[in-house]
Structures are given as structure tokens and as C-alpha cells.
Amino acid sequence: MPQPPTHSSSLDMAQPEPIDLSSGKYVKLWQGPQHPGITGNMSLELTLCGDEIVECKTHVGYLHRGFEKFMERRTYIQNFTVVCRIAVPEPTFNEYLYSAAIEELAGIEVPERANWLRALNLEMMRLASFLMWTGGMSGAFGLYTVPNWTLTYRDYILDLFEELTGARIYHMYIVPGGVRNVLPDGWKARALEILKGTEKMMREVDRVMMNNAVFKARSKGLGLIPPDMVDPYGIVGPNARAAGFKRDLRKDEPYLVYDQLDFEVVTATASDAYERAWVRQQEIFQCINLIRQMLERMPDSGPFQAQMPNVLHWKIPPGETYLKAECTRGEYGYYVVTDGSEYVRRVHVRGPSYTHAIAVMERLAVGTNIADIAGLMVSLHTYPPEIER
Amino acid sequence: MSLKDLISPFFVWQRAFEKPYTVGLKPIVERPGAPAYRGFHINMSDDCVGCGSCFTICQNHAIDMVKVDGLEAHGGDSGLRPRFDYGRCCWCGLCVDICTAGSLRMTNEYAWFTTNPDDFRFVAGMENKSWDGRTGGYHRHPDYHLFPPKRIEMEMLAPEESVASFTEVAKGYTEEQAKLEADRCVECGICVATCPAHMDVPDYIHSIRDGDYEKGLQLMYRTNPFPATCGRICTRRCESVCPVGIQGEPVAIRWLKRFIVDQVAEADYARILPNVEADTGKRIAIVGAGPGGLSAAYYLRLKGHAVEVFESQAQAGGMLRYGVPSYRLPDPALDKDIEHIRSLGVEIHFNHSIGRDTAFSDLLDNYDAVFVSTGLNVPSQMRIQGEDHPRVMDGLKLLDDVANGKDPQIGTSVAVIGGGNVAMDAARVSRRLGAEVTVLYRRRIEDMPADTEEIHEAQAEGCIFVTQAIPVEALNAAQSDQVTLKWGEAEMLQDPKGGRPRPVLQEERMHLDTFDTVVSAIGQGSNLDYIPTEISDQLQIKWGKFIPGDYQQMVLNKLFVGGDVANATADAISAIEDGHHAARGIHRFLDTGQRG
Amino acid sequence: MNTVDEILDYAIDQEQQAADFYADMAKRAEKGGMKEIFLEFSAEEERHRDKLLNVKQGDQELHANQAVINLKISDYLVDVEPHENISYQDALIVAMKRERAAFRLYSDMAEKVTEPALQDVFLGLAKEEAKHKLFFESEYDERVLKDN
Amino acid sequence: MNSMLERLSKEFRVTDITERHPGLTTLTADKDVAETLLRELRDREGYTHLNFMTAIDYIERGVFTLVYMLHNYATKSTLSVHVNIDRVNAEMTSIHTLWAQAWTYQRELRELWGINFPGSPRVEEDFCLEGWEEIPPMRREFDTVEYCERTFTSREGRGTVNPREHMAEIIFPNRGGDK
């Protein structure tokens, strides 16, 4: 654990020398809004001097659908179908946090079995999301074999989701009050089988990507995040853990059933793109392990939904809460304010990408080679829709 | 850079010898969705009741409720069906979860190709689709609910307690219970069409959720001036069609109605409820102060007409007073309703019998309109040998005696013949008078016309039910103060023409049982003898009942009829509606001279 | 009654008499609505008469072996005398009893005759009356025994 | 925790201190002391992590409530600092010097709520809207349905029938309560 950061140095906004485009020294280049190096739609307005980036400005809004606004017009139950769309590759965290916040404000106690099923879903989601990221990360460095492997296994996990929840991407499974369904017959066995395959595949990824001379050469030292940058920039999750911060909400402020599970927080020290990738690789194995633990220990019977009021005219007393969970990118949070009516007064969704993809990215990009900008971006693991909600 | 890191990536080549994931699967086979996949919608149109809950819950207005060829609105079914717009649907399945009838589900079909985008707007279950008949797909898990399927239990006196007195059995909801129960309503309004009085059920239930009981009372009085009464003894047809009851228990509409009335003091009625309009100078005579007559009186009086009610008995209420025992409908509740009607200036002439004290034709001559609601007060006779035995009495007389505080002297063993509400009342009253009670009924329990709740309570209170038992003769018993009933067992025979099965006596299986009293409660008929033949000859009367035209009007313009004597359902709420509708007709007739 | 035609003539006459009886009751009935009921009964009997006329002309056949349900309701009811102020319950009892009597008559006759052709006619007539009795008994079952 | 809250209420006149759940406390601070309070919380009390900042529009009270969510990793406690500011000419001191990510939030608040943060870098730039000419859309008076109906055409052939009204029309046209 590094010393508490000092705030002086890191707070300076990136202040590049004044850029005179007419000098002919610079080139403006737009990366995105459609670009495989950006997981989602977002653009980077880059100013280059030669191969080197001297200024990076981010532009978001391509995915702005005004979720927070129109959640104020929909009933509590209707909103649960909306929130999953705020982070496409990881909808489950939205479902869980929204439901948990509503439950806290409405005073609903969720049955134990639902908590296990929720945690199981969250870990499966983490696994699927990390697999997709692994593909993206290796692809950004020109390794196109790994994405084929990881996306295949991600699809197997989506098969499991499809069986359990009825959908592959927008599961809409975790609902205020509990979950919508229980594990189908034979599901556990199939899940274990797929986990086994995923684990084997990930060991191969370890050899092909993490121990690849090209990958190492290009990612080591790239996008260095000094520890004293972490708090001022609100950096969380693997990005912070790779900088030596042993912070994981599952461990620090356990929710659902995480206090009953056995795992260690993964940390690294070099805090570059390679270490961030390494932390995520370790967390994939950790995730598989957690799912196995849960499959073994979760109850097979009992209620999975709390006694619910009639959701068609569900009123929740005035209150506010902020709940958070550790998603693949770190602290994901839902701030919910109710005013006693049938509609939520305010929802604010705190996604880690909000700072990772804008303030952090704009700073780290400066001085980076144009060829590595995609790798840098992916190494921060960002999802644009959670920025603009 | 280590050598290992250079070689390691070549590990990829190992995969070249593995079985590929995707290629090689030829011909390409369609992969079906998972068994619980949320694919295209399917609606079992015969089960759907068109309640529109799917429409209400849809977060993206992807559903319209639309009229469909060949489906008509009728009791318990709006005749509307959901039409899906797949341009807006997000396949969340909330419509499936909320579906009250359980008719809506999703199939695991997920591929649909068409050249016309308008095809993607379709009425599920009413148009042929390639996924019709698919069994897989998303459906609501039976343990997963978006509204509480079970109703809030009404607290009742324990049978051993209830049988010992005439105290009201149902204790009424507490505010907390009422709010929880009111919460279960999905506000579809299907019940409104079935309620004979078309009460604004969803609206007054809504007022309970808002805690605005005065508004609730106002809403109820729009269609029913007997809410305290109906909140206790209504036949509640509404509950039989409540969509919430299809997969769970219907909303306890009756108890909620009672709850609202119980929250408002009678003294506040005048402030809350509408007042009488300006005097019109018209006079209206009403025959019979039962629910029908008084309902007409209330709505006519509100319009400013002078109303006089003629009642042959000493108190108002008709069957509610003399036919319904006080453990179901205590007098104070009935009085609360009646007193408000009287407080508006409705005049009631008690112990005044039309035909005896005033000629029927005088009413027609002296009033601007006459409303007749004289009910069914003549007990049907069994017409078996020995029916005139002194220990055989009819159920109405028993209830009447008890209501008037007379001891009917039934002894300690009583047989009640019949399966209607009067029979159940007679049986339960007899239990309260200390008798062992046997109920004999020609058919089966499920054929009994009595309210199921009453049947269950009678059973709980210790009444013994002997079904498929047909009485054939009443004989003198060994003791002069007893009677021996000869009855035979019956077999149920399916009527080839349909209808309920009919019992057929089995002569070889006859029984003789001796009782202190046999109470016959097999039904009631009307007595229209007060109408002189020259008038009745002009009227449409069948099976002892009036056949009214629109607005309850008879061929004689001035004469309007309603209640048990003019409808087939013969319950309080229908009488109330007849009275209300006749009042509407009379007002219209007096106002414009128009016939219905 | 020795020929089929003679028997049918008798039966047709009986139905006509019944129709006349109800028509007469309709004229005399004092209770509101009873007129229409007796007129309906009368019309019902006229339908029976017309059916027998058709049988006689060979347009329709009687079926001696058809199964007719016997609800046995009228068997255990007391006799009722028709009168001006008769109630609809009693009117139905009168009708049921009349049909029952006719059924018994034809059944007895069927037992007495030996000629199979005649026996068939009587049995067929008995079945017809049984059907009429069922009609009235069903009415009684539905309207009078509503709560029972 | 309690001693800290006591001190804050004394020194910074913070009010409405409410524990929402173990680990989450909300409090309200005056606009003029807010920046100092936040700095104090960060530097002296260990609330080094700004989870997010956002606003709630209390149009009925004429204020925006700015919400600063701060977290202390050591004590695992979260403070939600509320600051009410006037809805008219809404303006607030920028905290981009306290947290390097704050300028993004302030840019968003400026665009979607119309709250200005003078001195905040690039606060005038578009955030997620481009060419937006309506009032800031997160304000309560911005009616999304009205905007959609005005801006877009809906698909033809849609239209729903209310079951209750439909049944009333077909089954009991002249009955029920007076209309």
C-alpha cells in the first residue's frame, strides 16, 4: 500500500504548450466514434506532432439516451427494464444496484436465495465482460487470435445467461424484490463444464498474450498511472489495484454474499497497461473460483422474491441512498432519491468510465504514440454509455 | 525480451488440431432459443380477459389494447386484446409477469423476416404466426409475483364464538389491512361492467390507497346508496370476474367497500354527500321500502322530486331487514344507509299496504310516477304430502320472527331444506338458537346457489350438510311435537341439453329421520295480488315477475318496476341498480316526457 | 281402439283437449302474468297435436325405444286443483301431473295390447308424453326448485 | 464519526445530518462554506475520494440541490454533502482544483441543468448534447413527452382503447354514475 497521495502534483490539468495548427507542425486526428479501440461509441480528438500525441480531447454523447431523465417518468418496476442499457457489456450491475437501492428505500428484505443468485449473476457478468475485454485488449495490440477464443467462451457464458434469464445481453433478471427465476435443471453442471473450458482457455491466453514478446514490449510502461493520481482522479477498480491500492468493494464493504466467499484482492505495482491487463487476468481466475464456490454453496430451495406490493402503483417513501458494487472497472454506484410518489425523484448512475475515459484518458494520452492510443484506451477498460447515461 | 516470450505465442498452433467451434456444422441448423427465452409473444386469447395490465406496465408504450373481430365485450372480458408494436418492444417480459389471466407468454422463437414493417405490429394470439403452438419460451415463474396474489384475510369470529350469539361475524378490516388489500387492485375496471350497479370500484379502492375515505364515500354514493349494507352482504359478482382472482384470489371488493363506510361517521354524511336539488313539484310514489324502492327514492329525491314510500312492514329495509340475519348485517349498518336516504326528505309510510290501505290505481292516478319494488316475499311450497304438518315451517318466517325478536320455537333438532342463502341463514340462525342442524339439499354442494362463504361458515358453525337428498313426505312422529321426514337419495343426471345436472330420486334408497322442526327454504315467489286484474292484464308479467322495458318502465308510462320482482338475479345490488335506473328513467320521463 | 289410426286419433284428441283446457285457464286466470303462461302451455300442447298429426300422415315417426329421462319430480308432489288464482308453481304441477297421467295411460295400454304394431304406437306415445313431462319437470326444476 | 459531525455542525453550520444506512450520512451545507468544507473533509478527515457530484432539481422549492458524494477509504464511510443553490442564475464555486475529475461533472451540470461553475476548465463546451437549443433537459420543467411529440412523428395506426370505458360503452351505456 503506497503512502496516501499528495494532491499537489497531480491536480495540474494537462497544460500543453499552446498549439498553433497553422504552423504545419501538428495534425488533428479523430479516433472514433466508431473504432474497435474504443469499447463503445466515443471519439478522441487527437492533436499529433509527428507520432506523438500532444493533446487529447474526448467527445461523448453518441450514446446519450437520457436514461436518468426518463427514469423520472417511469414507475419503479418499469425502470428495471431500462437500467441494463446503461452498460451494455455489463447490464447486471445496473440491475442489481437499481434493485438494491429501491429495496433499501422501500424497506424490502430480499430472501437469501435471491442474494446468492444475484451474486452468481454478477460474477458471471464479470467473467463475460472480462473475456470480452481480453479480446479487445489483445486485438488492440494486433493479436487477433485471442479475441476469437475469448469471445467464443463469452458466448458460452451468454448461453448460460440465456438459459437462466431468458436473454443473452439484457438479462433483466435481477428485479426489485429478488430475481425472476431459479436455476434450470442441469444448469449447474453445464456451468461447471463451461468454467472448466474457460479456465483452460485462459491459461492458453496467458501464454499467447501475457507472455507474448510483442504484447509485453508494447504494453509495458504504457499509460502509467502514478499512485498519487488515483484519488484526485477518482480512479477505481483494476486501474487502481494495478497502482498498488488494495481496494475492492467486495472485500472492503461486502454486499450480497461476498463476506461468505473466499478470495484475495489482486494488486500490482507497475501501474501500466500490462499490469492492468495482468490484474484482470488474475481476476478472471478469481471470478471462476468465486462462481464455483457459489455453485457449491448456494441454497437450492426457498423463496427468491420478497413479498412485493402491487408494482402497478408502487409508492416509495421519501429518502435517498447511494449503493455501490465492484464491477469489472471498479466502483459502480446508484444514487437514488425518492419523494414518496410513484416515480423516482432522481437517479444518478456513477460509472467508473466517467473519469477513466475522460479526465484520466485525456491526461494519459499526452505523450503517447499514436499507435498505442487504442491499447491505452482499452487498458483503462471504459464503456461510454455509462458516461452520458 | 526472453526467448520464452518469443516462443510462447506459437502455442496458438496447437489449436489447429482441435475441432472447430463453428465451421463444419453443415447444413446450418437453426438453433432454438433456450427453453426460457424471451422471444415473440403469444397470447391465449380464450384465457385473456382484456384487462389491459400489460398495456399499463409496458414501459415503452409498445402495447395497444384493441378491438378484435369476433370478440365482444361481456361480463369479465373487455373483448380487447393486446397488440404489440415490435418497433418499440424491448422484450423485458413485464407484460408476461403482470398478466392477470396468465394467458400471455413469450415463445423461444426469435427470428422473423418480413418485407412489410407494419407486420411487426400484431395482435398476439389472434393472427397466425409461425411460432403458434411452440411450447418453449418465457413464462412467469409460479412463485414470482408483481402483485400479491393472496388477499388479506378478514378477521372473523371463531365459529364456536359466532354460533353463540348474533354478533356480526366479520370484524372488518383495519386501516393497514384495507390499504394492503386495496393495493392488490390492478385498476383494470373489468368489474365495473359486471357489478349490477356499475359502481366505480377501481376509483373507490384508489381512494383507500390515498386514505381519502370521504372521496371514497362520494364515489360509492354515485351508484349505490346502500354501501354499508352492500359492504357486508353483497353477492359481489364483481369479485367473480376480478382478473386478480384468475391466478390468485380476487380483490376483496366487498370488504373494502365496508371499510370506507366504517371510516366515515353518519354525522358527516350531510357535509360530504350531494344535497337535494331544487324542488321540481313532481310527486312520486314508491311501493316497498326495500333496497330497490329506497335506491329509487334516493336518486329521485336528489333530483328534487317529492318522494313517498309505502311499506307494509313496521320498518324499512325489506329483505335486508327481515331476511338477512343480524350476524351478517347488523341493524346499525342498515340504518346508517337508510337514515341518510330519509334525511334527504324521503317520506316513508310504514304499515301501509298497497291494495289494502290504498288502492294501486289511486297511486297511478295521484302521483306523477309510481315505482314498484315489492320483492319476493311468498315462500315457495314444497308441495309434498304432510307439508301442512305443524312442525314444518318456512325459512322466511323463521328469519322474520328472529328479526322481530320473537322465539320461533324450533326445538333442538332442525332440518333445513334448500341450498340458497335463505336456507343458509335459516340453518345458522337455528344453530344460534341452540339447535342441531341438518341441511338437506337436492343437489351437490357446488350446485348450491348460496354464497360459498356462507356455506363454509355454516359448515364451520356445525351445520351438517346432507346433499343429494330429496324430501318426499312429512309424517307424524311418535312424539306429537316432532315430525318425521321421509327423504330419498338422489343421483345426479347430466342433462343432455346442457345446464346444471339434475337430481333424480332413487326410490330404493329412502330414509326416515325425525326432527323437532323442518324448515323449508326452497325459494320465494312474488305476490302481485295487489294489482287489479284490469291493470295487470295490460302488463308484461311472467313467472310472477314484471318484464320491464328500458329504464325499468312498463307499458303504462307512469309505472316503473324493479328489484327481485322484476329481475332474474334477485339480489340487493341488482335491486339497487333497478331503483337507480328507474329513477333515471322517471326523471327523464318527467323532464322530457320521453319513454325509455 | 284397434287400429293405429284410431289410437292416434284418440291421442290427437287428447292433446287438443289439453290445449283447450289451458286456453280456458288462460281466460280465467286472475294473477298477473298467468294468462301468458297458460297460453304458452296451450301452444305447447298444440305443437304436440301437430306432431301427432304429422305422424298420422306418415311425415314423422314415433320412436318406441328412445330413452327419456324421468326426473320423477311430479311423482311425489301433492295433487293441485286448477283454479282462477292459481300460482305458476301450481300451474306447473297441474301440467306435470297431466302429462304423467297420459304417460301412465299409454304405458298401461301398451301392456294390454298384444299386437306388436299397436304396442309400438302406444309405447311411442308414452315416450312422447314422457318427453312432455320432462319438459315441464325441467321447467319446475329450474324455476320453482331454484334454491333447492 | 460523530465527533467529526459535531465539529462540522459547529464550524460549518451543516444541518440535516441523517444516517441513511450504516456508512452513508447526508448533510446540508451552506453555499458559501461548501468549498471550504469539502477541502476540509478531503485534507483533514480523509474523504479523499469524490464518488461523483450531481444535482437534484427541487423546482417546487426553487433550488437545485448539488450533491457531492465523498468517500473515506480508511473508515469506509461515505458523506453526501448537499448544497442548495438558487435555481435562477444558478451558479456554484468550482471544485476542479480539489479533484481533477470535477471539471467533467461541472461541464455536465452546466449543460444538462444550466448550473454555471465560473473558472471550471472547458465548462462552456458541449458535453453530451450537440446543438441543443431547448432549456437544459435535466430541469424538471423540461417535458420529454411534450418534446418528443413536438419533434418526432409517431407511427401511424397506433391507438389504444381503455377496457373500462370500452365495456361501459358496449355493456352499460346509460348506466353507472352520472358522467
| Mean pLDDT for the stretch of residues A195-214 | 90
Per-residue pLDDT of B15-36, as tens digits, reads: 788 777 765 666 677 788 899 9
pLDDT at position C30 over 90: no
- Whether D174 is in a domain gets the answer no
ipTM for the complex shown: 0.84
Phi, psi of D89 (to 5 degrees): 50, 50
Contact flag C75-B505 (C-beta cutoff 8 Å): yes
| Mean pLDDT for the stretch of residues B510-524 | 92
Q: Which residues of D touch A70 (CB under 8 A)?
A: 144
Burial class of residue B222 (count of CB atoms within 10 Å of its CB; 0-12, 13-18, 19+): buried
State the pLDDT at residue B23. Answer: 58
State the pLDDT at residue A5. Answer: 39
State the pLDDT at residue B43. Answer: 92
State the pLDDT at residue C112. Answer: 82
Q: Which residues of A touch D (CB under 8 A)?
A: 4-5, 7, 10-11, 13, 60-61, 64, 66, 68-70, 72-73, 104, 229, 231-234, 247, 252-253, 319-322, 324, 331, 333, 335, 337, 345-346, 348, 350, 354-355, 358-360, 363, 387-388
- Whether D178 is in a domain gets the answer no
Question: Strand A52-59's sheet: what is its strand order?
Answer: A27-31, A43-49, A52-59
State the pLDDT at residue A249. Answer: 92
State the pLDDT at residue A17. Answer: 63
Per-residue pLDDT of A45-87, as tens digits, reads: 889 888 889 888 888 888 888 899 989 999 999 998 999 888 8
Q: Which residue has the cell 313496521?
A: B314
Per-residue pLDDT of D82-105, as tens digits, reads: 999 999 999 999 998 899 889 999
**Domains of chain B: residue spans and CATH:** 41-123 (3.30.70.3270), 159-271 (1.10.1060.10), 279-377+526-592 (3.50.50.60), 380-493+501-524 (3.50.50.60)
pLDDT at position A8 over 60: no
Contact flag A152-B21 (C-beta cutoff 8 Å): yes
Is the CB of residue B179 less than 8 Å away from at least one CB of chain A?
Answer: no
Residue type, B305: H
Contact flag D163-B577 (C-beta cutoff 8 Å): no
- Whether D107 is in a domain gets the answer yes
Looking at CA atoms only, how far is residue D114 from chain B in angstroms?
28
* Range name among A197-201, A364-368, B57-61, C117-121 with the lowest pLDDT average: C117-121
For residue B385, give the DSSP letter. Answer: B
Looking at CA atoms only, how far is residue C116 from chain B in angstroms?
30
Domain CATH for A205: 1.10.645.10
State the pLDDT at residue C9. Answer: 87
What confidence tier does A6 reach under pLDDT thresholds 50, 70, 90?
A: very low
For testing contact with chain D, the best of A55, A355, A361, A389 (most D CBs within 10 A) = A355
pLDDT at position C21 over 70: yes
What confidence tier does A3 reach under pLDDT thresholds 50, 70, 90?
A: very low
State the pLDDT at residue B25. Answer: 61
Is the CB of residue B558 less than 8 Å away from at least one CB of chain C?
Answer: no
Looking at CA atoms only, how far is residue B180 from chain C in angstroms?
36
State the pLDDT at residue A7. Answer: 40
Per-residue pLDDT of D132-176, as tens digits, reads: 889 999 999 999 989 988 999 888 888 899 999 999 988 888 888
State the pLDDT at residue A248. Answer: 92
* Range name among A113-127, A194-208, C132-146, D148-162 with the lowest pLDDT average: C132-146
Q: Closest-CA residue in chain A for B92?
A: A81
- Whether A371 is in a domain gets the answer no
- Whether A5 is in a domain gets the answer no
The C-alpha atoms of residue B345 and residue B239 are separated, in whole angstroms, by: 34
Greatest mean pLDDT among B111-125, B248-262, B580-594: B248-262
Mean pLDDT of chain D: 89
The C-alpha atoms of residue C24 and residue C38 are separated, in whole angstroms, by: 8
* Range name among B105-114, B289-298, B299-308, D4-13 with the lowest pLDDT average: D4-13
- Whether A77 is in a domain gets the answer yes
CATH code of domain C4-143: 1.20.1260.10
- Left if phi > 0, otherwise alpha if psi is -120 to 50, otherwise beta: which for B356? alpha
**C-alpha torsion angle, residues A120, A123, A129, A132 (rounded to 10):** -90
For testing contact with chain A, the best of B59, B150, B203 (most A CBs within 10 A) = B59
State the pLDDT at residue A4. Answer: 38
CA B6, B12, B14, B17 dihedral sign is negative
Nearest by Cα to B275 from B319, B211, B340: B340
Pairing of strands B63-67, D63-72: unpaired
Contact flag A61-D73 (C-beta cutoff 8 Å): no
- pLDDT above 90: percentage of residues in chain D: 53
Residue type, C145: L
The C-alpha atoms of residue A28 and residue A30 are separated, in whole angstroms, by: 7
Contacts across the A-B interface (CB distance below 8 Å): 117
State the pLDDT at residue A1. Answer: 38
Domain count, chain D: 1
Contact flag B505-C35 (C-beta cutoff 8 Å): no
What confidence tier does D10 reach under pLDDT thresholds 50, 70, 90?
A: confident
D22 is in which domain, residue-wise? 2-155
A176 is in which domain, residue-wise? 67-350
- pLDDT above 90: percentage of residues in chain A: 57
Q: What contacts D62, CB < 8 A, 6 or more positions away?
A: D86, D87, D88
Global model pTM greater than 0.90: no
What confidence tier does D106 reach under pLDDT thresholds 50, 70, 90?
A: very high
Per-residue pLDDT of A297-318, as tens digits, reads: 999 999 999 999 999 999 999 9
Q: Identify the residue with better confidence: B488 or B533.
A: B488
Looking at CA atoms only, how far is residue B143 from chain D in angstroms?
28
State the pLDDT at residue A9. Answer: 40
H runs (alpha helix) in chain A:
67-71, 76-83, 91-106, 112-140, 145-165, 187-205, 213-219, 227-230, 237-241, 249-252, 273-297, 353-355, 361-365, 373-380, 385-388
Mean pLDDT of chain C: 83
Specify whether the CB–CB gap between B224 and B201 falls below 8 A: no
Domain count, chain A: 1
